Amino acid sequence: MSASAVHSLWTMAADPIEKIDAPKIEYGQLSPTLIVIGAAILGILIEAFVPRRSRYYAQVFLSAVALAAAFAAVVGLAAGGYATTKAGIAAMGAIAVDGPALFLQGTILLAGLLGVFTFAERRLDPVAHGNRVDSFAAQAASVPGSDSEKAAVKAGFTTTEVFPLLLFAIGGMLIFPAANDLLTLFIALEVLSLPLYLLCALARRKRLVSQEAAVKYFLLGAFASAFTLFGIALLYGYAGSVSYATIAQVVDGTVQNVTPALADTMGNDALLLVGTAMLVMGLLFKVGAVPFHMWTPDVYQGAPTPVTGFMAAATKVAAFGALLRVLYVVLPGLRWDWRPVMWAVAIVTMLAGAIVAITQTDIKRLLAYSSIAHAGFILAGVIAASPEGVSSVLFYLGAYSFVTIGAFAVVTLVRDAGGEATHLSKWAGLGRRSPLVAAVFAVFLLAFAGIPLTSGFAGKFAVFKAAAEGGAGAIVVIGVISSAIAAFFYIRVIVLMFFSEPRPEGPTVAVPSPLTTTAIAVGVAVTVVLGVAPQYFLDLASQAGVFVR
Amino acid sequence: MENLIALLVAAPLLGAAVLLCGGRRLDAVGHWIGTVLAAVSFVIGAVLFADMLGKDAEAREIGQHLFSWIPVEGFQADIAFQLDQLSMTFVLLITGVGTLIHLYSIGYMEHDERRRRFFGYLNLFLAAMLLLVLADNYLLLYVGWEGVGLASYLLIGFWQHKPSAATAAKKAFLVNRVGDMGLSIAIMLMFTTFGTFAFGPVLESAGETSEGKLTAIALMLLLAACGKSAQVPLQSWLGDAMEGPTPVSALIHAATMVTAGVYLIVRSADIFNLAPDAQLVTTVVGAVTLLFGAIVGCAKDDIKKALAGSTMSQIGYMVLAAGLGPIGYVFAIMHLVTHGFFKAGLFLGAGSVMHGMNDEVDMRKYGGLRKYMPVTFVTFGLGYLAIIGFPGLSGFFSKDKIIEAAFAKGGTEGWILGGVALLGAAITAYYMTRVMLMTFFGEERWRSRPTASPDQPDVEPAAEHQGAHAEPHPHESPRSMTIPMIVLAFGSVFAGAFFGIGDRFVHWLEPVTGHKHGHPPVSALTITLSTVAVLVLGAGLAYLHYGRRPVPAVAPRGSLLTRAARRDLLQDDFNHVVLVRGGEHLTRSLVYVDHTLVDGVVNGTAASVGGLSGRLRKLQNGYARSYAVSMFGGAAVLIAATLLMRAV
């Protein structure tokens, strides 16, 4: 953009003659997001005004109620036809209210609710100075190992700010897949990312690792955001608008009225292609696709495990939702350009995730690489570029998020003196000591591996079927090969749990409160139900598979 | 009348169920239940037979459809029966001889504590065999086929405490399996060719199929027949099957089951008629087997094994006749029936001898028994005369017709087949005379037996145990055993004449199998005279060898051929070297390939993936700057690739 063009943009916007209409906001259609964000703000007020003793309860209650209410709102909207017939664009073209958005928002809210349960767990760590403690640092600002930290622990401080942070992140995630212009998309990206960076730094144990993870995540996330923002700017230069619909029309060549100020750049395909690549790169960073995945293992390992579980599930759902919308709504006219590139990304992601996971020795890192491989599988569905592709990805995301939260919740249970025992060698023989926990974890692993009668199989089948029908047979072959490689390390953990001798000073399995138990039980139930009787949910995803334009 | 057909099968099946499930409380009456039910089946057969005789020759076939077994679109299998003259012949033979042998077994198995079970198996056999011959489609026939195989297996190994019996049962089972594969493949071929396996449609539409397919089906059926009827190359099990109780040998391994192969070929006549190549192979199999069995029969000192060789040889005659086509089918079945009488009689006679001789089976330890066992001697003698084809007796009529038909085949083939059949008749006369002389004539070798057993490696352990110390006291068998022998002797004497004179049997079977009168190149009288001549020759030679000279109690070393024949013409050695060793080598090679190549590839892949994993893992070095570089590089590649896609 030349300087004069910028100037003319400013002068046009400031034209005193044009009237500015008051924005028309459809509060009802936006209610899920508004409830969550409102609850987050309320949570900050609680931090400020409610006595320390009651904060935890007030925050947990508020978060759970807000998420449940938001979910109810989503269900209400869907039942009211906003997922299908009444689907439309709200908030002056900023937010889409349609099937994919509502489906993904519902999934994110349920994942968030389970996330609240695991955040609120206070029975796993031993009681410190007469206070029950959760997974989060007593006082985030205190230097690890310092006197102030000890004092904070002694004083029984807890970081109840995690709940508003969680709600803010969820708020961002709700907007992310529904964003219908690039600026809203970017704002949602930041709203969901910043609280997550903070949450990653808040581990009670292994605080240095946790803080390192947060810094890495923040640095790389900011780096990726810069790319995204630059891509958005280029796309604006190309189309003269940040609105999805307008950009799509410009790509298709149906809009001809050139904004005079952008006459130099509009319709320049170089801007379009480079801008697209950069925008997509930012989204691929969030979903953890190779080669933008490097943060994943370090952050997953360092972050407090409840945060990891929530982040792995909900971020992926939100980011894939946004990616789907960008590719299907903004860039369908460009699919002959982006599909081959996404092919390559999907293949590399599947293979790299599965292969590197083989040599992992830490269960959280293992699950991190597993999530990378799964990102590859989901990308295969994205590439299908068909309604079946959308619905299969929706189903996969729903199935995957419950498995992930459940699996990480189980990881929080297996503990030794240093907190969670995440080294794989310590899991040897777990099946003999705690058959139930090991069996539950085995169910999650089988679902990750895509074994029939688990949701993983139904999801993988749907995604691969859509990809094959979309003409991506090669991806399916590589996907199946990757699944075979991945099955090796999932099943190796099962073998380790059930067929190895327990170590003498191995970890113990903590007895959780009903909160974590609920999270795990819901995870198992959804995994099995979606595996045994997936048809209803496949139909649901299929009905929700149409984007509003 | 049709509804009686199922009862034929049901009666012995009920017997088998009751006896095998009934438990010990039926021990006292079990044998009578089995015998009565066999007799019931025979009576039903007789009633049906009488009914059939009352009808016109062309309208005698009746059928009964019980129920639909596999009612699938495109694959219909029924439990349905077909009773025509061919089936009727078998029904009478099976139930008639079967009932007699049940009766005989009451005495023979008197001291066996598992007698009830034995009768249960015998009834099971009857039911399966009747199912085999009454089925109206190949699939149901296959059920019966496997059923008789099972019964045969159970009965050969009835004395399972003897390792030799258990081994023999297993051997029979395995060898039969090869033949059964042939039958199942034939049925599958039929299904793919004709879309059905019911006799009617298959045989009627046989003409519409290519000869190649028919030849394939016929050869597979022949393979099945070879297995069940102990024909070369699947003959090796029959000799060992003599480990079973003698009534079993008489019923299953002489009179009925082993002739199922002949039934199969004759039943499938329409297929064979259109596959001349398969017919030629059939005749060759029959000719080879009839010599093979006869030669083996000459060398065996075990009376039952000598008779087993004879059975093999006589079935060879039947297969040969069946391979000749319409000129031979009727005679194959006729010989089958007469053979059923005299061979069953001979086996029962052998059983009677063993019964009186402490279960001794070595003929070299017999001799001069005619004085002690007059009934056995006479009935066995009549059976002997019948089998060698003494003019006027059963074997004469049936065998002579087969030899005639073989010559009538025409051309060089006819001369060769006829010559072989004639040679076989001579050898038959030789080995049967040998059996006769060694058993009933000559000095009483059982009296002055050499003391020690180490000189007698051939002696059976059981006989050793019972007979080594106590000198046997030969005696006639009880009435329940002699009566069946007498009845069968009547059949041996008169059946042939009854069937043969006036071509009665030909007219009886012709509507089913079809018949063409063969025209041998020389007159029938010449052939008959030659048959008698070679018979005299063979019997005379045997008399010179075994009648004039004392029979050594220990078998002499003998010529190379004799020694080979004693080892069943090396059939087991052949099987062992070629099949067992070959199979072992094959499996060993496959295991080697599996270990090195397949496992190598698998393990190599796994190892290389693991190695790759280890190397890729190093990229994850923990430095945020490296990660950022990776992202930057990735973004660059992404942009470049997107642009490149547009460029190309």
Question: Is the CB of A220 less than 8 angstroms away from the CB of B634?
Answer: no
* Per-residue model confidence (pLDDT) at position A14: 54
Mean pLDDT on B473-485: 87
Q: Does the pLDDT value for residue B451 go beyond 60?
A: no
State the DSSP H helix or E strand holding residue A95, giving kind and residue range, or none if neither.
Answer: strand A95-97
Question: Is the CB of B630 less than 8 angstroms away from the CB of A356?
Answer: no
Looking at per-residue pLDDT, the higher value among B362 and A258 belongs to B362
Question: Is the CB of A281 less than 8 angstroms away from the CB of B635?
Answer: yes
Whole-number Å distance between alpha carbons of B258 and B263: 10
Per-residue pLDDT tens digits for A477-525: 999 999 999 999 999 999 999 998 888 888 888 889 999 999 999 999 9
**Chain B residues in contact with A288 (beta carbon < 8 A):** none
For residue B457, what is the DSSP state?
T
Per-residue pLDDT tens digits for A346-362: 999 999 999 999 999 99
What is the per-residue DSSP string for A297-352? HHHHHHS-HHHHHHIIIIIHHHHHHHHHHIIIIISGGGHHHHHHHHHHHHHHHHHH
Query: Could you identify the residue written with the tokens 């995803």?
Result: A541
Determine phi and psi for A471, rounding to 5 degrees.
Answer: 90, 15
**Chain A residues in contact with B606 (beta carbon < 8 A):** 488
- Closest in B609, B624, B639 to A220, CB measured: B624
Look at residues A542, A517, A520, A240 and name the one whose alpha carbon lies nearest to residue A381: A542
* Per-residue model confidence (pLDDT) at position A83: 87
For residue B475, what is the DSSP state?
-
Which one of A341, A369, A478 makes the best mutation probe of the B interface by having the most chain B beta carbons within 10 Å?
A: A341
Secondary structure of B347-416 as H, E, C letters: HHHHHHHHHHCCCCCEHHHCCCHHHCCHHHHHHHHHHHHHHHCCCCCHHHHHHHHHHHHHHHCCHHHHHH
Residues paired with residue B291 on neighbouring β-strands, in sequence order: none
Residues paired with residue A508 on neighbouring β-strands, in sequence order: A415
The ipTM (two decimal places) reads: 0.89
Mean pLDDT on A233-247: 90
Determine phi and psi for B555, rounding to 5 degrees.
Answer: -65, 130
What is the per-residue DSSP string for A231-298? HHHHHHHHHS--BHHHHHHHHHT------GGGTTTTT-HHHHHHHHHHHHHHHHHHHT-TTS-THHHH
Question: Is the CB of B617 less than 8 angstroms away from the CB of A359?
Answer: yes
Question: Is the CB of B642 less than 8 angstroms away from the CB of A294?
Answer: no
Question: Is-contact B34 B102, C-beta < 8 A?
Answer: yes
* Per-residue model confidence (pLDDT) at position A40: 96
Confidence of residue B315 (pLDDT cuts 50, 70, 90): very high
Determine phi and psi for B67, rounding to 5 degrees.
Answer: -160, 165
Q: State the amino acid at position B488 in one-letter form.
A: L
* Per-residue model confidence (pLDDT) at position A10: 57
Question: Is-contact A179 B590, C-beta < 8 A?
Answer: no
Dihedral (CA of B280, B285, B290, B291) sign? positive
In chain B, the percentage of residues whose pLDDT exceeds 90 is 49
Mean pLDDT on B183-208: 89
Confidence of residue A3 (pLDDT cuts 50, 70, 90): low
Chain B residue with Cα closest to A283 = B635
Look at residues B344, B348, B428, B431 and name the one whose alpha carbon lies nearest to residue B389: B428
For residue B3, what is the DSSP state?
T
Question: Is the CB of B642 less than 8 angstroms away from the CB of A344?
Answer: no
- Closest in A285, A294, A341 to B620, CB measured: A294
State the DSSP H helix or E strand holding residue A415, giving kind and residue range, or none if neither.
Answer: strand A414-416
pLDDT, mean over chain A:
90
**Chain A residues in contact with B627 (beta carbon < 8 A):** 216, 220, 294-295
Question: Is the CB of A294 less than 8 angstroms away from the CB of B630?
Answer: yes
Whole-number Å distance between alpha carbons of A257 and A235: 16
The pTM of the full predicted model, rounded to 2 decimals, is 0.64
Whole-number Å distance between alpha carbons of A479 and A354: 10
Question: Is-contact A484 A351, C-beta < 8 A?
Answer: no
Contacts of B591 (CB under 8 A, 6+ apart): none
- Nearest chain B CA: its distance from A542 CA (Å): 30
- Nearest chain B CA: its distance from A8 CA (Å): 30
Question: Is the CB of A292 less than 8 angstroms away from the CB of B634?
Answer: yes
- Closest in B627, B639, B645 to A220, CB measured: B627
Determine phi and psi for A165, rounding to 5 degrees.
Answer: -60, -45
Which one of A218, A358, A383, A482 makes the best mutation probe of the B interface by having the most chain B beta carbons within 10 Å?
A: A358
Contacts of A481 (CB under 8 A, 6+ apart): A351
**Chain A residues in contact with B631 (beta carbon < 8 A):** 220, 223-224, 281, 285, 291-292, 294
What distance separates the 2 farthest-apart alpha carbons in chain A? 81
Determine phi and psi for B389, rounding to 5 degrees.
Answer: 85, 35
Contacts of B503 (CB under 8 A, 6+ apart): none
Question: Is the CB of B638 less than 8 angstroms away from the CB of A281?
Answer: yes
Neighbour-count burial of B440, counting CB atoms closer than 10 A to its CB (0-12 exposed, 13-18 middle, 19+ buried):
buried
Look at residues B472, B464, B475 and name the one whose alpha carbon lies nearest to residue B447: B472
* Per-residue model confidence (pLDDT) at position B74: 79
Whole-number Å distance between alpha carbons of A285 and B631: 8
Whole-number Å distance between alpha carbons of A399 and B620: 29
* Per-residue model confidence (pLDDT) at position B78: 87
Chain A residue with Cα closest to B647 = A337
Three-class secondary structure of residue A420 per DSSP:
strand
Residues paired with residue B198 on neighbouring β-strands, in sequence order: B137
Question: Is-contact B447 B432, C-beta < 8 A?
Answer: no
Confidence of residue A5 (pLDDT cuts 50, 70, 90): low
Per-residue pLDDT tens digits for A52-76: 889 999 999 999 999 999 999 999 9
Question: Is the CB of B616 less than 8 angstroms away from the CB of A295?
Answer: no
The alpha carbons of chain A give a radius of gyration, in whole angstroms, of 23
For residue A176, what is the DSSP state?
T
Per-residue pLDDT tens digits for A360-376: 999 999 999 999 999 99
Look at residues B323, B319, B300, B320 and name the one whose alpha carbon lies nearest to residue B310: B300
- Closest in A216, A341, A488 to B641, CB measured: A341
Residues paired with residue A370 on neighbouring β-strands, in sequence order: none
Going from N- to C-terminal start, the domains of chain A cover 23-543
* Per-residue model confidence (pLDDT) at position A12: 58
Neighbour-count burial of A307, counting CB atoms closer than 10 A to its CB (0-12 exposed, 13-18 middle, 19+ buried):
buried
Confidence of residue B253 (pLDDT cuts 50, 70, 90): confident
Question: Is the CB of B639 less than 8 angstroms away from the CB of A295?
Answer: no
Whole-number Å distance between alpha carbons of A297 and B573: 68
Q: Does the pLDDT value for residue B56 go beyond 70?
A: yes
Look at residues B307, B333, B175 and name the one whose alpha carbon lies nearest to residue B254: B307
Three-class secondary structure of residue B445 per DSSP:
coil
Q: Does the pLDDT value for residue A289 go beyond 90?
A: yes
Three-class secondary structure of residue A418 per DSSP:
coil
Question: Is the CB of B638 less than 8 angstroms away from the CB of A274?
Answer: no
Mean pLDDT on B28-44: 92
Whole-number Å distance between alpha carbons of A203 and A212: 11
Mean pLDDT on B442-447: 82
Q: State the amino acid at position A182 in one-letter form.
A: L
Determine phi and psi for A509, rounding to 5 degrees.
Answer: -100, 115
Whole-number Å distance between alpha carbons of B153 and B155: 5
CA angle A373, A375, A381 (to 5 degrees): 115
* Per-residue model confidence (pLDDT) at position B468: 46
Contacts of B584 (CB under 8 A, 6+ apart): none
- By residue count, chain A amounts to 549
* Per-residue model confidence (pLDDT) at position A16: 58
Question: Is the CB of B642 less than 8 angstroms away from the CB of A345?
Answer: no
Q: What is the dihedral of CA B222, B224, B227, B231, to 10 degrees?
A: -10
Mean pLDDT on A75-83: 91
